[in-house]
Amino acid sequence: MGKRGLDAKNVCLGAGLGAVVAALCCFTPLLVILFGLVGFSALTPYLDYVLLPAVIVFVIVAGLASRKWQQAATHSKPRSS
Q: List, for residues 34-43, the tens digit of each pLDDT value.
A: 888 999 888 8
Q: Please answer whether residues 27 and 39 qualify as being in contact, where contact means their C-beta atoms are separated by less than 8 angstroms.
A: no
Query: CA 55 from chain center: how many Å?
Result: 7
SS3 43: helix
17-51 pLDDT per residue, tens: 888 877 777 677 777 888 889 998 888 888 778 87
- CB proximity list for 51: less than 8 A, separation 6 or greater: 22, 25, 26, 31
Is the pTM here over 0.85, yes or no? no
Domain boundaries, the chain: 3-74
Do 50 and 10 meet the contact criterion of CB atoms below 8 Å apart?
no
What is the average pLDDT value for the chain, to the nearest integer? 77
